[in-house]
Amino acid sequence: MAKKKSAPRTVAAVPLISAAVRVFAVLERLSQQRAIGLEELSREIKLAKPTVYRFLLTLQELGYARRVDGDRWAMTMKMFTLGSRALDHLDLLSAARPIAEELSEELGETVHMGVLDGDAAVYVLKIESRYTIRMYSRVGRRMPLYCTAIGKILLAYADPAEREASLEGVRLLAFTKNTITTRKALDAELVKIREQGFALDDEEREESLHCIGAPIFDYTGAVVAVLSVSWPNFRYGRDEEGGWITTVKDTAARISVALGYSPEA
H/E run at residue 21:
helix 18-30
8 Å CB contact between 199 and 149: yes
Supply the pLDDT for residue 5: 43
Supply the pLDDT for residue 129: 76
User: Vertex 161, ends 126 and 166: CA angle to 5°?
Assistant: 40
CA dist 184 and 198 (Å) reads: 19
Predicted TM-score (pTM) of this structure: 0.66
Write a three-state SS string for 171-221.
CCCCCCCCCCCCHHHHHHHHHHHHHHCCEEEECCCCCCEEEEEEEEECCCC
Supply the pLDDT for residue 3: 43
Burial class (CB in 10 A: 0-12, 13-18, 19+), 5: exposed
Same domain, 91 and 165: yes
Supply the pLDDT for residue 2: 44
Supply the pLDDT for residue 244: 92
Same domain, 128 and 49: no
Same domain, 108 and 52: no
- Three-state secondary structure call for residue 231: strand
Of 55, 76, 97, the last residue of a domain is 76
Supply the pLDDT for residue 11: 39
> Could you tell me the CATH number of the domain that includes residue 72?
1.10.10.10
Same domain, 143 and 66: no
CA dist 105 and 121 (Å) reads: 24
Supply the pLDDT for residue 17: 79
Long-range contacts at 3-10 (CB < 8 A, ≥ 24 apart): none
Same domain, 35 and 156: no
Q: Tell me how many domains the chain contains.
A: 2
Which spans in 118-159 are helix H? 149-157
Supply the pLDDT for residue 200: 94
Supply the pLDDT for residue 237: 82
Range of the domain at 48: 18-76
Same domain, 94 and 71: no
Supply the pLDDT for residue 68: 87
Q: Assess if residue 169 is contained within a domain.
A: yes
CA dist 125 and 251 (Å) reads: 15
Of 56, 76, 96, the last residue of a domain is 76
Residue 174: alpha-carbon gap to chain centroid: 24
Supply the pLDDT for residue 219: 85
Low-confidence ranges of the chain (pLDDT < 70): 1-14, 80, 83-90, 132-137, 264-265
CA dist 213 and 148 (Å) reads: 9
Same domain, 90 and 65: no
Q: Assess if residue 10 is contained within a domain.
A: no
